[in-house]
Structures are given as structure tokens and as C-alpha cells.
Amino acid sequence: MPVHAAYDFSGKGALIIGGTTGIGRAAAKAFAGSGAKVVVAGLGAADGHSLEVEIAAAGGDVLFVETDVRQEDQMVRLFETAVRRLGRVDIALNNAGVEGPFAPVHEISSDDFDRIISANLKGMWLGMKQQIPHMLENGGGAIVNTSSTAGVKSIPNVGIYSASKHAIVGLTKAAALEVARGGVRINAIAPGPVDTGLLERMVAGHIPVSAIAEGTPLGRISSPDEIARAMMWLCSDDAGYVTGQTLLVDGGLTVS
């Protein structure tokens, strides 16, 4: 596990929701490698426990808690567990999310609509409901919510996914304004195409990932580590005057 020497999160407690695979997994390893005590939440016990083993083997402090972000009782228990483990939650990443069918809006089922909105938007909101009061009571903190370039740019055939990611941007802005004087910074991150299972599942049989890569100005998709490093910056003192913003990490995809 690489140690990110540019950031020192020693003594900080980090809660990473949606941290067992992809971007979240990279972030868990990055924050643990920079000295933070980490609690990782998500579905998929096998992935969660393998992450625990990997981080612990590298000398990191980590606990995995299997959690369905759509269930408020589970999110409450998760946060209680995180506080017991960490003492204080200084950093929270609300990264859990699912893809939807690659199809026009009028062909999406009600079940798929509910599944996407519940996981992507409601799960983030349930996370902030626990995180914000705790951080206000403890003098501040940093929250990063994962949106997408689909949250700032119209992308056909992923309409409900895009709607959920647009909503994350709006909710992030509102929450940031509500708590700014309490020392809590809330930002969103909007990755472009990332080398994850979610991207592959979303476009499978419709668009080759190689074509998506070629369509970005930088001519490639990003690694999860690149997004994790941007998350670290948003949570660091270097971003101490940044709140209510959406950081685009997209290889220039939304420039034009």
C-alpha cells in the first residue's frame, strides 16, 4: 500500500462509505496509508474483509462494517460503530452508488428508478444526517460526496443515474451553506470515466470502454487512485477554503 507523503492524516478518523471496491477501495487504502484510522462500509463481505487484511498487512488501522446505505437503521448503527472505533469522525466520504440500465428514460422501470435513487442519493443523505451533527458538535470536519460528470453534463441513456448525480451536486451545495460557519466543509467530486466495474457494467454491450477513453481530451480513463488523491486534497488543510464545490476530475471531458 503506497504512503501518500503529500498528506498526513495521522490522528484523524475517516469513514468511507462505499469503500469495498473501485474508487472507495482506493480511497480507503490511501487514507490509511497517510495515517488515518479508517472505517469502511459497504456491501460485499468478501471484498470488505479482503480490504481489511490488505490494509492491516501494510500497517494500517481499519475496520469493515457491512452496511446497506439504503437502510436508515443500518446507517445509524454504522455511524455509532465508527464513533466507537475512531473516537471522532473528522473525514467522511459518501461514495456508495450503483449504475442503471443503459436505456432511454422512458424505458426505465419503476424498480430501477427506486434502486438507483435510493442507493445514490438517499444513501448519501442518510450518511450526512449522521455525519453533520457529529462534526458540528466536535468543531468541524470534511465531507466529500461522490457525484459524476453525469451530474454536471447531459449523457443520454443513463438518465436516472444522471439525475441522481445531479441531485448530489445540489444537495452538497445546500448542505455546505447550512454548516459552513460550524467548520464543516462539504464538497462533491465528479469523476469522469474510471477503470472500475461500475463503468464496465454500465456500458457493457453498448459502448467499448476504449471508445470512451478515446473520447476524453487526455485520451484515457482514470485510475481509482487518481480520484482517491483528489478526495484526499478536498479533505486536507490545503483545501481549507473550499466548500460547496464540485471538483471535476474527468480528463477534460466537460471542458467543451
Between CA 196 and CA 107 the distance in angstroms is 25
Given a contact cutoff of 8 angstroms between Cβ atoms, the answer to whether 144 and 90 are in contact is no
Identify the bridge partners of residue 186 per DSSP, sorted by sequence position: 143
> How many other C-beta atoms are found inside a 10 Å radius of the C-beta of residue 138?
16
Of 161, 167, 192, 250, the catalytic one is 161
Q: Is 161 a catalytic residue?
A: yes
Between CA 121 and CA 245 the distance in angstroms is 17
3-state secondary structure of 55: helix
C-alpha cell at 194: 474510471
User: Strand ranges (DSSP E) for 53-165?
Assistant: 61-66, 91-94, 141-146
Q: Which residues are catalytic?
A: 161
